């Protein structure tokens, strides 16, 4: 099942010079994509015949039924008018930098005329960053809900613009962390987080949460479950160290690389990019991320513009898998309704400029502060530094509709 580990210099370019040498034109890019898409060799999608020849336009024609197949059909490169070598350069650029790039950074380096084009490329690629068939987390898993955003007015209590995000992260040996999974919650509630746990955590794993009653019920739903009451701990951050670290890295990434431009509407896809990077953070070969993203891109859906405008992905879980539980989530349908008739320009919203938000992040010295969310309620909240604000797009707020 597990493929042999790809090797720099033979399976993927190890350096930028190699990238340029390997992919001088569309034909070279197509041949590489064919290798990724059909590792066992091409077979006709209609009759599964393996004999084929290549047309002058680079299509693969089945020798038996004459059906022509394009390696880019049904992928994010479907019907692209841009040379594939430009896509490859974009993917190299995005994956070779530890924290990625903003849409404005991509626009600049590729010389795109419009910011909107770069934005759409970034979002197409983000959709390829998560495999739908990825493995579930296992072992000891911390599970919690964090909040990002909400430019607070200074008023204590939960701001309405804060977005709840469910986080699950594996505890490895020592203080090391394993893989992470994240998803925007429709609203902070029990059904959503139980659904999330079922979806991303393998049966038999031990789930660690804080002492909230909401989480205690997980134990009665088939998960071995340990909880620590954070109100008794000296420092609440030591109770869930994994979630705490992931949360601060996420917030730093949203403010630093993206400069607050992640709109709540598209936040799930930014979480996908963060997850892709976090789970591969120990990869010494940046070219391997290039390889993985391309590999997933030829397996991904094309995501035409109208779907990009649709915003959030539909819920990952089908309630039929868990008879007896009712899950009321249909984010996809709501996203479509919300964005009907919107143009790309109106959808893009705030710009991903990638400027360093040092002024905002600096503690004290006039830097903004937001109250930290704590389950103990506003009275227990301590001021904290670096909670980013999520701007909502120019469209209707996410809660509308
Ligand atoms: Zn055929």
Over residues 8-52, the pLDDT tens digits come to: 888 999 999 999 999 999 999 999 999 999 988 898 988 999 999
Q: What are residue 147's DSSP bridge partners?
A: 164
- 134-252+373-395, which class in CATH? alpha beta
User: Is residue 361 pLDDT above 50, yes or no?
Assistant: no
What is the 38 CA–ligand 1 centroid distance (Å)? Answer: 15
Q: How far is the CA of 75 from the centre of ligand 1 (A)?
A: 20
Q: Give the pLDDT band of residue 80 (cuts 50, 70, 90).
A: confident
CA of 302 to the centre of ligand 1 (A): 23
What is the pTM assigned to this prediction? 0.73
Q: Say how many Å lie between the CA of residue 53 and the centre of ligand 1.
A: 11
Query: What is the structure's pLDDT at 142?
Result: 92
Distance 69 CA to ligand 1 centre (A): 9
pLDDT at 207 over 60: yes
**What's the gap in Å between 51 CA and the centre of ligand 1?**
8
- Give me the mean pLDDT over the 77-89 stretch: 91
pLDDT single digits (tens) 328-345: 233 333 343 344 445 666
What is the whole-number distance in angstroms between the Cα of residue 61 and the centre of ligand 1? 8
Say if residue 281's pLDDT is above 50: yes
CA of 42 to the centre of ligand 1 (A): 11
* Secondary structure class of 168 (helix, strand, coil): strand
HSE at residue 375, side-chain half, CA atoms within 13 A, is 20
Residue 373 sits at the vertex; the CA angle it makes with 367 and 375, to the nearest 5 degrees, is 160
Higher pLDDT pick, 369 / 61: 61
Instruction: Give Cβ neighbours of residue 297 (< 8 Å, ≥ 6 apart).
Output: 75, 76, 77, 91, 125, 128
CA of 52 to the centre of ligand 1 (A): 8
* Residue 96 · residue 290 · CB < 8 Å: yes
Model confidence pLDDT, tens digit, residues 298-309: 876 666 555 555
d(CA 247, CA 242): 8
Cβ < 5 A residues, ion ligand 1 = 44, 46-47, 49, 62, 64-65, 67
């Amino acid at each position: 099942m597990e493929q042999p580990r790809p090797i720099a210099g033979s399976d993927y370019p190890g350096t930028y010079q190699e990238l340029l040498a390997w992919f001088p034109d569309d034909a070279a890019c197509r041949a590489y994509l064919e290798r990724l898409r059909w590792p066992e060799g091409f077979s006709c999608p209609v009759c599964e015949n393996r004999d084929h020849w290549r047309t002058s336009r680079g299509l693969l024609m089945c020798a038996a039924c004459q059906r022509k197949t394009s390696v880019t059909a049904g992928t994010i490169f479907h019907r692209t008018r841009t040379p594939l070598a430009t896509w490859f350069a974009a993917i190299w650029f995005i994956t070779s930098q530890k924290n990625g790039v903003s849409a404005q950074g991509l626009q600049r380096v590729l010389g795109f005329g419009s910011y909107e084009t770069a934005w759409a490329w970034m979002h197409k690629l983000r959709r390829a960053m998560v495999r739908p068939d990825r493995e579930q987390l296992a072992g000891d898993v911390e599970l919690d809900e964090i909040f990002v955003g909400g430019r607070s007015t200074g008023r204590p209590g939960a701001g309405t613009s804060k977005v709840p995000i469910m986080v699950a992260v594996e505890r490895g040996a020592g203080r090391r962390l394993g893989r992470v999974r994240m998803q925007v919650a429709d609203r902070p509630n029990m059904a959503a987080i139980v659904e999330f746990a079922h979806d991303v955590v393998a049966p038999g794993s031990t789930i660690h949460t804080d002492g909230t009653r909401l989480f205690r019920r997980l134990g009665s739903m088939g998960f071995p479950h340990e909880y620590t009451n954070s109100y008794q701990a000296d420092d609440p951050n030591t109770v869930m160290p994994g979630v705490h670290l992931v949360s601060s890295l996420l917030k730093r990434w949203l403010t630093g690389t993206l400069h607050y431009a992640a709109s709540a509407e598209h936040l799930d896809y930014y979480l996908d990019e963060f997850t892709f990077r976090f789970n591969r953070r120990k990869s010494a070969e940046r070219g391997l991320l290039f390889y993985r993203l391309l590999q997933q891109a030829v397996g991904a859906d094309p995501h035409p513009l109208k779907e990009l405008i649709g915003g959030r992905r539909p819920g990952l879980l089908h309630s039929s898998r868990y008879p007896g539980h009712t899950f009321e989530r249909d984010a996809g349908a709501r996203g479509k309704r919300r964005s009907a008739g919107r143009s790309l320009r109106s959808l893009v919203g705030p710009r991903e400029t990638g400027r360093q938000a040092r002024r905002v992040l600096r503690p004290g010295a006039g830097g903004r502060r937001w109250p930290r969310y704590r389950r103990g309620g506003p009275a227990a909240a301590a001021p904290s530094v670096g909670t980013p604000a999520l701007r909502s797009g120019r469209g209707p707020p996410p809660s509308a509709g």
